[in-house]
Amino acid sequence: MTQYTVAVLGATGLVGQKILEILEERNFPVKMLKPLASGKSAGKTISFQGHSYPVQEATPESFEGVDLVLASAGASVSEKLVPEAVKRGAVVVDNTSFFRLNDSVPLVVAGVNDEDLSWHQGIIANPNCSTAQLMPVFKKLHELGGLKRVIVSTYQSASGAGKKGMEELCDSTKAMVSSNFQDPGENKVFQRPLSFNLVPQIDKFLDDGYTKEEFKVIAETRKILHLPDLKITATAVRVPVLVGHSEAVTIDFDRPVSPEQAIAALKTVPEVVVSETPEAFPTPRDAEGIDPVLVGRIRRDTSNPETGLNLWIVADNLRIGAALNAVKIAEQLDKQGLIQSKSKFAEHV
Amino acid sequence: MTQYTVAVLGATGLVGQKILEILEERNFPVKMLKPLASGKSAGKTISFQGHSYPVQEATPESFEGVDLVLASAGASVSEKLVPEAVKRGAVVVDNTSFFRLNDSVPLVVAGVNDEDLSWHQGIIANPNCSTAQLMPVFKKLHELGGLKRVIVSTYQSASGAGKKGMEELCDSTKAMVSSNFQDPGENKVFQRPLSFNLVPQIDKFLDDGYTKEEFKVIAETRKILHLPDLKITATAVRVPVLVGHSEAVTIDFDRPVSPEQAIAALKTVPEVVVSETPEAFPTPRDAEGIDPVLVGRIRRDTSNPETGLNLWIVADNLRIGAALNAVKIAEQLDKQGLIQSKSKFAEHV
């Protein structure tokens, strides 16, 4: 079995730490680990598979001799450093939004469109968390009935904004509790205080009134499913939950699909666990720390009873939405012999 | 000006207290107040418009001499006591679900379908909170473009489940904070712990997989807007917010409607305040304690750009969703001379 020198870019962040945890959990063949972060975190130590590794400041030279990079240090860091890694012969699985809609970069959810890995040119993008968890469900339902139109309302946890987001929610909740529910605390990460509140803005606003988060759900779904004209819309809302994204989804199909057919089809998807009774609905608390996408409340859409369904889709946004998918992509690259690409893509950068 | 003997049934509950507050605030012509509650609360004292009133146990005889009843003590109490009040000549504004879909009972949102008050037979029903706040918006948009299809995802606060719901959310949040975010606390009111979590079940499940709450949004919207065949669906989710319901709504229109047209039209509705820029979106914290329905994030639906819009609709569920609407209905009944109905309906019961 080939063993790889693996760099984790953003190793001290919430997703970076989860990547390290999942690489260990799944026993990924790591010969040598390079935990990379900003200068602030350099000097910290990371314990991994029984070894101790110092965190190094990420520079272009950090990628010398690296086979595989798992990057989750933000879009501006990826913009700068990912081409440097590719130039030095590494293959990069990038968790940020920077390359996702680039036509020469495959955007992959493991188990959904692994076939797109074959045309990578050094970079594979990992989709946005709120998109990723929908994909195993949408792919199977598209095979079953043909996706005609999709309407998504998200209920996204604070951890989607990283450690700082979780800390801000915890701190503002403590402020509320200790002030007899009067003081909403400070907000810097979120546009409004999130404790006991909702913030219907995730990422910046675009000219059409959508947020970038909503745009990502729309554009990334179309790319991953190879449905460039899919009719899809989204409303993305931050909720006072620590971990776990939930999504209320309405689907119009090309052909009639009953709840029973949808349940039977989704039961065959390895990445999905379906609730067969209404009462067994999943909550974010159920999804935290586990791998599968949880689907419940599947029922006929009363506004389109012949060819429509409503669903409730929940997952751990840090796992399938980020770290787990990154590691699963790395496993697929390994299996398909797509990591040993040194110098193959370096010239393109 | 006629002054009325007013009974508030459920006077010690969350909505009952809000009704008393709003009756005072709006200076409703109360000659005498009868605060009624269960035996448990009898003997407490309520201060109202400078007078002190003892809380009495609600019995059929409590309604002797009463002109107007504002009832919010739950469906089973209304089932039993509302006919007794009507029999004794009172007019009842009922906040519970018991009579809402009864063909001989008007279901009214003040300012939306006041004309339905004229055919009341002693009982006027106040809709479910998640329905009520949508109505001033939907009515205006229906006039503008014709509602063809509506998809609603709700984000409903704990106060929708009354004082006990709010207390459970506060207690379970305290348990989380004091256990370093490990102990979710107890849940009796909600089907799962609500602190830092979501519960996609409000009220009981029906045979078709919908909850009663979702059914209410669907059936009550059709009745209030006089659109019995309206295509509408809903997903109702409890969120860890204390007060204020929010709803993400997708509307298909019969005719093209631009966001600018929708904003201009909604600006003419007295019950509505519209955000004209995306950044000025409303949150439940903004809605708490105020009367208007707040609407923001109005944008073209990317899955139906010609004739579709997405909206974000937020309101204080205890006010427009319950107490404020009850008092406004009472004001309309007074204005239209529809309270002086003694013995007119008594014989029908």
Strands A272-274 and A293-300: parallel
A175 touches chain B (CB under 8 A): no
In this prediction, residue B1 has a pLDDT band, given cuts at 50, 70 and 90, of: confident
Degrees, nearest 5: CA angle A77-A83-A86: 125
Beta-carbon separation of A235 and B150 below 8 A? no
Beta-carbon separation of B248 and A153 below 8 A? yes
B129 catalytic? Reply is yes
Residue owning tokens 């807007």 = B225
Closest by alpha carbon to A99, among A121, A75, A118?
A75
B198 close to A281: Cβ distance less than 8 angstroms:
no
A122 close to A206: Cβ distance less than 8 angstroms:
no
- What's the whole-model pTM score? 0.96
A53 close to A77: Cβ distance less than 8 angstroms:
no
Residue-wise pLDDT tens digits, B279-288:
999 999 999 9
Closest by alpha carbon to A262, among B209, B213, B212, B149?
B209
A150 close to A253: Cβ distance less than 8 angstroms:
no
Looking at domain B4-127+323-348, its CATH superfamily turns out to be NAD(P)-binding Rossmann-like Domain (3.40.50.720)
Residue B182 token pair: 């490990």
Alpha carbon dihedral A102, A105, A111, A112, in 10-degree steps, equals 40
Residue-wise pLDDT tens digits, B316-346:
999 998 999 999 999 999 999 999 755 466 5
**What percent of chain A clears pLDDT 90, i.e. is strictly above it?**
95
Closest by alpha carbon to A239, among A148, A146, A102, A130?
A130
**How many Å lie between the alpha carbon of B138 and the closest alpha carbon of chain A?**
16
- What are the φ/ψ torsions at residue A40 (nearest 5 degrees)? -55, -40
Q: How far apart are CA A37 and CA B151, in angstroms?
A: 44
**Which residues have CB under 8 Å from B61's CB, separation 6+?**
none
A197 touches chain B (CB under 8 A): yes
pLDDT given for residue A347 in this prediction: 55
Q: Which residues of A touch B259 (CB under 8 A)?
A: 209
Q: How far apart are CA A106 and CA A88, in angstroms?
A: 20
Q: Which residue of B has its CA nearest to A193?
A: B285
Q: Which residues of B touch A298 (CB under 8 A)?
A: 209
pLDDT given for residue B321 in this prediction: 86
Question: Cα(first)–Cα(last) distance of chain A, in Å?
Answer: 29
Residue-wise pLDDT tens digits, B83-106:
999 999 999 999 999 999 999 999
Tell me the ipTM for this assembly. 0.95
Q: Which residue of A has its CA nearest to B247?
A: A153
Closest by alpha carbon to A262, among A304, A228, A296?
A296
A5 close to A68: Cβ distance less than 8 angstroms:
yes
Q: How far apart are CA B23 and CA B319, in angstroms?
A: 12
Averaged pLDDT for residues A298-317 = 98
B183 close to B231: Cβ distance less than 8 angstroms:
no
Task: Enumerate residues 270 to 299 of chain A having a beta carbon within 8 A of any beta carbon in chain B.
Answer: 278-279, 281, 283-285, 296-299
Looking at domain B134-156+202-316, its CATH superfamily turns out to be Dihydrodipicolinate Reductase; domain 2 (3.30.360.10)
For B105-140, b where at least 16 C-beta lie within 10 A, e where not — what string? Answer: bbbbbbbbbbebbeebbbbbbbbbbbbbbbbbbbbb
In this prediction, residue A340 has a pLDDT band, given cuts at 50, 70 and 90, of: confident
Task: Enumerate residues 213 to 242 of chain A having a beta carbon within 8 A of any beta carbon in chain B.
Answer: 218, 231-235, 237, 239-242
Query: Is residue B349 classed as helix, strand or coil in its secondary structure?
Result: coil
Domain ranges of chain B: 4-127+323-348, 134-156+202-316
B238 close to B162: Cβ distance less than 8 angstroms:
no
- What are the φ/ψ torsions at residue B113 (nearest 5 degrees)? -135, 50
pLDDT given for residue A223 in this prediction: 98
Beta-carbon separation of B299 and A197 below 8 A? no
Exposure of A291 by Cβ count < 10 A (0-12 exposed, 13-18 middle, 19+ buried)?
middle
